[in-house]
Amino acid sequence: MRSRVKSQTKAEAVCIEPASDEQGSSSRIATLFRQHGSEILAFMTRKLGNREDASEATQDVFLKFWNQERQGRLEGSSRGYLFTIAFNTAKDSRRRSRVRVAEKHEPLIEQDMAEDLVTSEQAVLWRQGLEGVVEALRELPVETRKIFMLYHAHHLSYQNIADKLGITTRTVERHMAKAIAHCKGRMTEYL
């Protein structure tokens, strides 16, 4: 398998000396960009997963390199520095991306909740419906109402209700069917 890394030229292996003037520095950056720009762009595209972001990040890499060279902070391989800067730039870009996504997330606010609040007319209808359910339950025989409440209010299973009341599961089923049919018949205007 061939290595994707190109061998360094003698010019790259030599220590980078600070540029004596900005034009000399700019021409060196232009040369490095021609030599390594596509490599850095490919690297950034793999790291960022987006060619547009990678292109912008590649420009940042060369700008950071140029600033470091102007300040005389570079020693060693220019290619190595470029990839180190590229790696750090990609990491920073991904971090900023996560922050931007987090900032786009808008928490639920009262204004959003206000849209979901029921109108006063709807509240009256719900209250009337609830009163209708309570009245329908009161009309049930005591045993049927008790079974219905054990199931819906206390969340007991049919088997647990049967055990608790000393009746069969089938009897619990019949009482529940009777309660549901009665409530459904009384609540037709709300269903």
* Structure confidence by residue, pLDDT tens digits, 114-160: 555 657 777 778 888 888 888 989 999 999 999 999 998 899 999 99
Residue with tokens 């010019």: 11
Global pTM value: 0.42
The percent of residues above 70 in pLDDT, for the chain, comes to 73
Q: Which of 96, 105, 79, 106 is nearest to 5 (CA)?
A: 79
Average pLDDT, the chain: 78
Quickly name the fold that domain 10-104 has. Answer: Rna Polymerase Sigma Factor; Chain: A (1.10.1740)
Distance CA 75, CA 91 (A): 23
The CATH number of domain 118-186 is 1.10.10.10: yes
Q: What is the pLDDT of residue 13?
A: 36
Question: Mean of the pLDDT values across residues 24-39?
Answer: 78
- Phi, psi values for residue 56, rounded to 5°: -65, -40
For the chain, give every domain's residue range: 10-104, 118-186
Residue with tokens 């021609």: 34
Q: Which of 49, 8, 53 is nearest to 32 (CA)?
A: 8
Q: Do domains 10-104 and 118-186 have the same CATH topology?
A: no
